[in-house]
Structure 1
Amino acid sequence: MDVQKIIQDLRDELNQHNYNYYVLDKPVISDFEFDQKLKQLQELESRHPEFFDDNSPTQRVGGAITKHFKTVAHDYRMYSLDNSYSKEDLIDWETRIQKVLGNVPLQYTCELKYDGASISITYEKGKLLKAVTRGDGFQGDDVTTNIKTIKSVPLQLKGNYPERFDIRGEIILPFEGFEKMNQELIEIGETPYSNPRNTASGSLKLQDSSEVAKRPLECLLYFIVGHNLNIKTQFEGLEAARSWGFKVPKEAKLANSLQDVFEYISYWDTHRHQLPYETDGVVIKVNSFHQQDELGYTAKSPRWAIAYKFKAEQVSTKLNSISYQVGRTGSITPVANLEPVQLAGTIVKRASLHNADQIEKLDIRIGDTVFVEKGGEIIPKIIGVDFSKRSAEAIPTQYISHCPECHSELIRTEGEANHYCPNYYGCPPQIIGRIQHYITRKAMDIEGLGGETVALLYSNGLVKDYSDLYELTIDQVIPLERMAQKSAENLINGIAKSKEVPFDRVLYALGIRYVGETVAKKLAKHYKTIDALQEASLMDLILVDEIGEKIAQSVIDFFDNPENVRIVNRLKNVGVQMELVEVFNPDATDKLIGKTFVVSGVFSKFSRDELKKAIEDNGGKVGSSISAKTDFVVAGENMGPAKLEKANQLKIPIISEDDFLAMLQ
């Protein structure tokens, strides 16, 4: 008897039954029969551990405990999508596309936008290798153990699939399963979950995978990324993924024009309520992968895709009061405190009023009945007032003139929408906010230290700025509320470990106004050290790629402040990374330094990404579009006609990949 073959045959059979039930929704055996076969496999695997397979159907039941989810880098960045809210927005988007591509025929793939938790799953040789949350787009949490419990996620692929690839999708919780989970909570006297999306997202971070296995989660897949996929279009990719065993929604449709796109949107704006799960819009993608490559990306989003958001749900409720919050930069945000009301699956008690101009524009007053909707289905906002219900005694709202925390007189710079508290070093919410920003995951990612603890450290006089964190001792933090020996040790160890965080994230953590993650990466890459950045002039900064005058002036202002310089020097002295540690590349040269290249077309000796990397490795810069600053266009087959025309118009040399290789000799 070949036990290994019996085990493998059982695995294959159970994988097929899982596929029939959870993907095709066409079971061919009863639940009882399935459970008996699964039990038989579990017993065989228990008796023969030498044939263990991490992707066996028996591993779906969970049981592994993950105390801390490991942060891992995505092989391919996960971008976010630009949003649109009207037909005019989509027409403008197509116009921008055609400017790049040169008025060529376009096809679009239309897909429903599922309201869940984004996931990227890597497969190698047909087996599930890892599953990572979106995180910041560059890296996320490894939740492989939890994802394996989701029955619609294949552990072993079928058919003719690529050697290795990533597939992106949404982890969602269907309405029926969500309602069942809530009913069970209500029956035992527990608080029900607020909405399916947050519950699905929270499920991915449960430490006990057996608890995840109990939840009726599904995974809807929609995009494949990798090298040598042998797939030419988005729609072809969806069909291929479906044939490999993935649950790919059948609602996707190929559109030959924007009119077809509009018809798709119109249909689903009405019929989406018949779906078994939440959807908040439609995603429209240029179908051709070649055209996608030509269009490329902005700093945050693909140019070849856009989300159309369905009109947000709207309710009315009473405005009880307005409070004012002070952010870490001193910016004042007015917040509406509302009579609690149900909106899009959650109870809304507060909503943003943005700034003084918005309050004046809406003529909003305490006691008004206001209309509230979720902007982008996430953040509630007030969009209007029901004047028919306004009391005759309602008094016009006077925006505050002094900081609600430190009572400094507020300022408002010309051209700025918000009022600011200028008391940068004396206003508690600003001080606490800057330290809270410093410790966040995208910045220093200090394990064991949260926002509430930062506030406690400040109120107890233990920290006045983020450099004070590195002077803390275990004995100082143990007396804090909810702090024990172990948690105190974790906090101090987490602070010490943050000294290993790379320079670009440190630069972001400093909280320089307008310097977000992307700008911090560009500045770190350009200047290499904090000293070089500190010595840069305004004009030097403006000449850095994509750094405008507003950002440049903000950097200058930051380092002109002696207190900021003192804090930075203190961080440097305790060992925080203040220079870029570049990975050694033995093939790197400076042969292309000072030269800007634009890459267009399909290449035989490089992938486009490899070609771009070769340019950067040899000191060159890669531009996204052709301009007078472009030195060379590296052209492959099927070069975009608009780029060809622009290059000829500007008399920019067009070279082949062989010409490019010759430049490196």
Structure 2
Amino acid sequence: MVKAEAKERILKLRKLIDKYRYDYHVLNKLEISEAAFDSLKHELKKLEDEFPELITSDSPTQRVAGKPLKEFKKIRHSFPMLSLEDVFSEKEFSEWAVRIKKLSPGADFEFYSELKFDGLALSLVYENGGLQYAATRGDGNIGEDVTQNVRTMESVPLSIAEKRRVEVRGEAIITNKNFEAINKEQKKKGLKEYANSRNLAAGSLRQLDPKIIASRKLDFFAYDILGPDFENHSEEHKTLAKLGFKIGGANELICKNLEEVFKHHKKIANTREKIPYTIDGLVVSVNSNKLFQRLGVVGKTPRGAIAYKFAARESSTVVENIIVQVGRTGALTPVAILRPVQIGGVTVSRATLHNEDEIKRLGLKIGDSVIVGRAGDVIPDIIKVLPELRTGGEKNFHMPRICPVCGKPVKKMLEGGVGVYCLNQKCPARHREWMYHFVSRKAFNIDGLGPKILNAFLDFGLIQDIPDIFELKEGDIAPLERFGEKSAENLVKSINNAKKITLARFIYGLGILHIGEETAIDLAEHYRSLEKIESADFDELNNIPNIGEVVAKSLYDWFRDEHNKNLIKKLLRYVEIENPKKRASGKFTGKTFVLTGELESMSRDEAKARIRELGGDSSETVSKNTDYVVAGANPGSKFARAQKLGVKIMDEKEFLKMIK
């Protein structure tokens, strides 16, 4: 990027960050997630590092928080309440460690790692053992007097066993359990629900009536004590605990080296959903207070401590292009080609846009700066467009009227629907995508036959359609590049193993529009034979629980198509279908489960199978009819939806007890 472009981008980023910063720190609301906000600040800092001559004193990187509101009495802090620099990866953390080690060569570097709470920073001042006043961070130098409200917080000691003047700093938070309970009450009263626990904690502290904050049961976690001399930061935490303050406890750790910091970070990141309050990373500081003081401050940031955040689930980037992909059902899906960005620990370069209506809803143009989010293993989505960062060179996008692969006309399948489809069954893109689906793990599960190998077989003319796969011999495969006798033998063995298949997998493998894995299981268990599914009329299909009119029509039409009838006849020459037995009733009969996140003791498929063995049902979506959501590590959006709907959430340990 040339200097002129950098200058324009820096000015726009500063303006946008200042707006969000004021919303966040002063008005206690935020239109984007904190992770997305962090990524904007991160981009600005990188640009200013690259062009230091463009740094100005009013840049968001040079100051802390926002101006205090006028509704509360102002209090000047004895020592500024500084902000921390953010890092998001082992590489960035290592670079910080190298920088500070260069400033103090020969020093013994021991680190103290503690939780980074996502709440409102507070300063509590005690004199002669009594709480004198409590103040918010404000702009870092001047905060707001919230003493009356803080006195109602049970976790804040009103007196301590320390006669000297001390200042205790920490974070006011609301536990996840209390947050859910308060939102449930709001919903019951028909009032607006709170966006997140930090907003609720901050808003509560600014209530003029202390009774309101008392009813919300805010917690206070201490992380620093100013006044007495301590040799290191870990001693401060021990003293805080002795004085009656809550600290991070078992989640805090003295780390002798970077490897121990990284190990601790991974452990907390993998178990963060089990922590009863919101955290967004670790604060890692040099443990020695003398060394911390010697390292000093740069701008408004201490050199000796850093916020080591979890891999962002959201980040800002740029949409460089929009392409259209054709799926196995003929659906045309617009896909955003992104400037590569790290989200959730992986590099993301594409995001699904679903359909043209979604592009219009977002107001998205090619070239736009956007916020991209990724929850769990879900395909990344564009969450928000940032029109404030437009340059004027952005372009509108329009869905094609013909298939971008076969050139045949496309149309909407349903009146008033949003999906656009290529109806040409011989479309090469549709055909290949369908074949990829057919051999996939959840369908026929032909190990070793992925998209690359399938493409090679199609390109060499070894196969033209799905049934041809079952005719392949070792002699056909072995001469191909990357194959030998042994690998050809293994692939043919996998193909032969796939000839025996359950009815549910067979139905799913057919790639029928709207028929996912769970619907295929429902159909198999309802009819228990392919012949009965083929002969079912529309009304009969429509009356099956969890099916519905759209799915019923798709099924009915598919099984009456001559091409599809011939396909099934050919497949049945090679394939033996195992029909399911009638499911026995069990302790889960009538109960519906949804799984989210990563399970340690078993795969999701194994968990679903166990649920069905016990008479229960597994679903892919959370609704008011869901009985339980089982949450593993790094759960996705289903976890948040379950919280919103008040669905019972259990962790893996609780689930394992239930299935014993």
Q: Same fold (TM over 0.5)?
A: no
**TM-score bucket (shorter structure):** 0.3 to 0.5
Q: Look at both structures and tell me which one has the larger radius of gyration over its CA atoms.
A: 2
The two structures have a TM-score, normalised by structure 2, of 0.44
